[in-house]
């Protein structure tokens, strides 16, 4: 299965490595300052490099499971709960380092603090833990804020492009419809099939114009538009294109974003039907499950290898994926159809189910 948000996973690991880099830098700087303080306080005669490496190296290593618990295992937790979690993880980190450092130091005959000085071996690890993870939380918040700004900018750009498309579509659209009506009226009765095809074409243009002027359309209208679109394409490809469109009729009045299915169906026609010499079946289905509508576009073409190599097929597919991410935080998934073909799936939340 292909997740179209591969770059999002790359971004996640990029942020993760940067966060771990912050931890490494924290202990490197702290260790360097610790070594320098001991060296200078001894009139530059005491070189504590071995003690420093073991001391701060163990702190750095033990911070990894702490990081995993807070930022990987509990990454979905809100910030407030993660901060409370630190109250459990930090003592475990300090205690683990305290006894492990002493055990390793004994193996290498390296000295460590005893008596009243023991408190420094509690205070210093606690201070470093707080500095390290406060910095990581701050960086995480900054990265999230920057990503949100990018998504907001992309959404504004998408809205602007949609507005420009709407303005272009409004430039005397009646001229196109009147021309199609004139062509249809000039056809003899024997060309009734052609007349119906022109009527379908006019309907698709009207729907596209309507879609550019509204933020939502009824599921029934979108499904019927897809049927007319595929009917037109069927005239082009003949028996090479077979299709079926199925949706819950009792949810026909539910509002969905306009032109949500057309780019994906067009993608199937372009990459499954056009290159094939054998009949290809395209099935568009909509299912309901609790508070979501689940959409599936499946074809029996030979495009899976191309999809798996290029992480998706076509600009329309990528634009739809970005649109779903921005509006609903949903993803588009691509998987292989059996015995051959491609299946595209996605879901959108439905706030209120309106029964037709």
Domains of the chain, by residue range, sit at: 2-158, 232-349
Taking the chain, what is the end-to-end CA distance rounded to the nearest angstrom? 35
3-state helix, strand, coil in the chain (%, to 5): 70, 10, 20
Q: Do the beta carbons of residue 269 and residue 280 sit within 8 Å?
A: no
Beta strands, E only, the chain: 2-3, 217-218, 241-246, 255-256, 280-289, 292-299, 333-336, 342-349
Spatial distance between the Cα atoms of 13 and 6, rounded to a whole number of angstroms:
11
- φ, ψ of residue 274 to 5 degrees: the values are -55, -45
Place of tokens 């004994």: 106
The predicted structure's pLDDT at residue 356: 42
DSSP secondary structure, 275-343, as one string: T-SS-EEEEEEEEEETTEEEEEEEE-SS-HHHHHHHTS--HHHHHHHHHHHHHHS---EEEE-SSS-EE
Which residue in 124, 133, 45, 144 sits closest to 84, CA to CA? 133
**CA dihedral over 143, 148, 151, 152, signed as positive or negative:** negative
In 10 A of CB 301, how many CB atoms? 24
- What class, spelled out in words, does domain 232-349 have in CATH? alpha beta
Residue 328's alpha-carbon distances to 31, 346, 350, in angstroms, are 46, 11, 10
Could you tell me the pTM of the whole model? 0.52
pLDDT in tens, the chain (356 residues): 545 455 555 555 566 667 667 777 777 887 787 777 767 777 777 677 777 888 888 888 888 888 888 888 888 888 889 899 999 999 999 899 889 888 988 888 877 777 777 788 888 889 888 988 888 888 888 888 887 787 777 777 776 676 666 555 555 555 566 566 666 666 676 677 777 777 777 777 777 777 667 788 899 999 998 998 898 888 888 899 999 999 988 888 899 988 888 889 988 888 888 888 889 999 999 999 878 899 999 999 876 655 555 455 567 788 888 888 888 888 888 888 888 889 999 999 886 554 44
Give CA angle at 19 (71, 4), nearest 5°: 75
Q: What is the pLDDT of residue 326?
A: 80
Q: Is 239 exposed, middle or buried (0-12, 13-18, 19+ CB in 10 A)?
A: exposed
Determine the Cα angle at 285 with ends 282 and 287, to 5°.
165
Separation between Cα atoms, residue 156 and residue 161, nearest integer Å: 9
pLDDT at 189: 67
Length of the chain: 356
What's the token pair of residue 109?
A: 């005959």
The separation between CA 169 and the C-alpha centre of its own chain, rounded to angstroms, equals 31
Non-local CB neighbours of 207 within 8 Å, separated by 6+ positions: 221, 225, 228
Q: For residues 201 and 228, give the distance between their C-alpha atoms in angstroms, rounded to a whole number.
A: 8
Strands 255-256 and 292-299: unpaired
Strand partners, 346: 295
Whole-number Å distance between alpha carbons of 238 and 68: 57
CA distance 239 to 280: 8
The SS3 of residue 214 is coil
Element holding 126 (H helix, E strand)? helix 120-169
Q: What is the structure's pLDDT at 220?
A: 92
């Amino acid at each position: 299965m292909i997740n179209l948000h591969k770059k999002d996973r790359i971004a996640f690991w990029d942020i993760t490595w940067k966060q771990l880099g912050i931890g490494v830098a924290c202990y490197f700087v702290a260790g360097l300052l610790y070594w320098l303080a001991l060296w200078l306080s001894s009139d530059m005669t005491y070189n504590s490099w071995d003690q420093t490496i073991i001391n701060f190296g163990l702190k750095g290593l033990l911070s990894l499971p702490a990081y995993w618990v807070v930022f990987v295992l509990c990454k979905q937790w809100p910030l407030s709960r993660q901060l409370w979690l630190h109250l459990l993880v930090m003592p475990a980190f300090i205690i683990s380092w305290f006894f492990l450092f002493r055990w390793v130091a004994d193996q290498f005959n390296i000295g460590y603090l005893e008596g009243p000085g023991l408190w420094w071996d509690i205070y210093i690890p606690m201070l470093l833990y707080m500095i390290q993870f406060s910095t990581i939380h701050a960086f995480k918040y900054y990265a999230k804020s920057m990503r949100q700004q990018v998504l907001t900018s992309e959404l504004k750009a998408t809205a602007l492009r949609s507005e420009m498309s709407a303005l272009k579509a409004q430039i005397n659209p009646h001229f196109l419809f009147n021309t199609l009506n004139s062509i249809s009226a000039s056809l003899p009765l024997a060309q009734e099939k052609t007349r119906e095809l022109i009527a379908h074409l006019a309907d698709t243009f009207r729907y596209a114009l309507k879609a550019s002027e509204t933020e939502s359309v009824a599921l029934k209208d979108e499904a019927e538009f897809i049927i007319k679109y595929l009917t037109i394409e069927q005239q082009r490809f003949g028996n090479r294109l077979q299709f079926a469109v199925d949706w819950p009729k009792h949810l026909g009045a539910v509002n969905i974003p306009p032109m949500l299915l057309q780019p994906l169906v067009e993608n199937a026609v372009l990459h499954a039907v056009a290159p094939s010499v054998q009949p290809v079946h395209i099935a568009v289905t909509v299912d309901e499950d609790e508070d979501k509508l689940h959409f599936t576009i499946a074809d029996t073409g030979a495009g899976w290898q191309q999809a798996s190599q290029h992480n998706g097929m076509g600009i329309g597919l990528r634009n739809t994926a970005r649109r779903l991410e921005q509006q609903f935080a949903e993803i588009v998934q691509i998987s292989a159809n059996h015995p051959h073909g491609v299946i595209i799936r996605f879901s959108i939340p439905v706030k209120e189910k309106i029964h037709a």
